[in-house]
Amino acid sequence: MGEFVFNDIIRSDKGEYFLKTGNSTYQNRIISSFFRNGTLIDSQYESYDPAASDESLLNSTRRFHEEKKAEVQSLLGLAEKLKDSDQATTKNILGLAFLRRGMFDEAINEFEEAIVLDPDNSAIYNNLGKAYIGVDKIEDATRVLEQAAEISPNFADIHNNLGYAYLKQEFCKKAVEHFEKAVELNSYYAEAFYNLALALVLNAHKREDFNLSVNCYTKVMDNMEKAFRINPNYRNEHFERGEEFLRQKDYQQAFHEFEKGGRGVLKPDDLSFIIDFYLRIMHSDGKNLKSSIIWKHIRQLEEMLKKYPNYADLYNHLGVAYVIMSKYVNSKAMQQFNKALNINPDFEKAKRNKRLAEYDNKGIQLLFDAILK
């Protein structure tokens, strides 16, 4: 079986990216890798049938490469199209899309502009903090995450990210405090439990706080077990090696292994479909949408809410989805009234209903614009 590779350079006003897509005969996967300055920042794949012909595999590899290239170019194009937007929500969504792909400089630009437009929005500060961490601007990350915590002291994600920023600076006691706050606010937060264990190990190595280092093994394993119960992906070969080093009180090596084990761990649920949906809405200006796309999004959110019934953000996203569906339904209603009037221009009931629908449409459009523009 042949091996096929496609390469492309993708340029933006922040620099150049390199996209490489090829098939792995060992893994039976087509892998698309996204690089910046020689560093891998994102990788996606799809599996293929090992019995596929060379021609079929060549076509599949080319298609996958073109899809990934089009996704990045579409995102860059959308950011250019909306660069003059005066809505923080738009900037934040674009920033999240860039952040998800590891395009940190572009994400930072969008989040910084969003904060100017909405300086009291803690979620945007939180997102900016994550983007700063991505480019190793840890002091900047700490500053904006502290601002976020002041605005929303009961937001678990903010405390987890702020704890991680302190951990990167080896401020173990502060890191522990914020990780503990995160799991206090969200007892199902696997990542925060894992990070709390990491901070305890690093503290034992750095000897920053004696009280935290007492019964280190027991404390670390207790938090690790909590992380495993929520997300079993944290239990891997790096954890096994890290635990052995921890038993030997080789805290430095234990920390390195645990840190490796936490990288790239798959989260139990991927919420990226929400960002993809909003990008599609913004790209189309809410026009030419199919009801099947909106209903699929609504069903996905409802399924997530069955798992996380106390997740306020999901209810908000579901409300937005219903607003978008209302806009779609209203548009369909207007089309039917117009058809009725084309057949019978003197149809008074259709005229009245059209006026009512137009009145409703103005309110829906105002709400739609406020949410997504």
Residues forming beta bridges with residue 9, ordered by sequence position: 18
- The alpha-carbon radius of gyration of the chain (Å, integer) is 25
What does the pLDDT read at residue 270?
61
| Mean pLDDT within 317-326 | 88
Dump pLDDT digits (tens) for 38-81.
Answer: 888 888 888 999 899 999 999 999 999 998 998 888 888 888 88
Rounded to whole angstroms, the Cα distance separating 260 from 2 reads 34
Rounded to whole angstroms, the Cα distance separating 93 from 88 reads 9
Model confidence at 156: pLDDT above 60? yes
**Across 151-160, 190-199, 361-370, least confident range:** 361-370
What does the pLDDT read at residue 317?
87
| Mean pLDDT within 129-150 | 97
Q: Provide CB contacts within 8 A for 321, sequence distance 6+.
A: 277, 294, 297, 298, 301
Q: How confident is the model at residue 290 (pLDDT cuts 50, 70, 90)?
A: confident
Write out 229-292 in H/E/C secondary structure. Answer: HHCHHHCCHHHHHHHHHHHCCCHHHHHHHHHHHHCCCCCCCCCHHHHHHHHHHHHHCCCCCCHH
| Mean pLDDT within 318-341 | 89
Model confidence at 267: pLDDT above 80? no
Model confidence at 371: pLDDT above 90? no
Would you give the distance in Å from CA 295 to the centre of its chain? 21
| Mean pLDDT within 141-150 | 98
| Mean pLDDT within 213-235 | 94
What does the pLDDT read at residue 101?
85
Terminal C-alpha separation, the chain: 49
Would you give the distance in Å from CA 212 to the centre of its chain? 33
Provide the phi-psi class of 45: left if phi over 0, else alpha when psi is between -120 and 50, else beta: beta
Rounded to whole angstroms, the Cα distance separating 122 from 205 reads 33
Question: Please, what is the angle between helix 172-185 and helix 156-168, to 10°?
Answer: 160
Q: Which residue has the tokens 């997102």?
A: 127
Model confidence at 15: pLDDT above 80? no
| Mean pLDDT within 221-235 | 93
- Report percent pLDDT > 70 for the chain: 92
Q: C-alpha angle 225/183/271, rounded to 5°? A: 90
Model confidence at 323: pLDDT above 80? yes
Name which residue leads in pLDDT, 197 or 365: 197
pTM for this structure? 0.79
Model confidence at 92: pLDDT above 80? yes
Name which residue leads in pLDDT, 331 or 130: 130
What does the pLDDT read at residue 102?
85
Model confidence at 1: pLDDT above 80? no
Q: How confident is the model at residue 305 (pLDDT cuts 50, 70, 90)?
A: confident
Dump pLDDT digits (tens) for 331-340.
Answer: 889 899 999 9
Name which residue leads in pLDDT, 71 or 172: 172
Mean pLDDT of the chain: 89
| Mean pLDDT within 263-273 | 66
Model confidence at 4: pLDDT above 70? yes
Q: Provide CB contacts within 8 A for 271, sequence distance 6+.
A: 304
**Pairing verdict, β 39-47 and 29-36:** antiparallel
Burial class of residue 47, CB neighbours in 10 A (0-12, 13-18, 19+)? exposed
What does the pLDDT read at residue 124?
96
CATH of domain 85-262: 1.25.40.10
Q: Provide CB contacts within 8 A for 289, sequence distance 6+.
A: 280, 281, 324, 328
Q: Strands across the sheet with 15-24, in order?
A: 5-12, 15-24, 29-36, 39-47
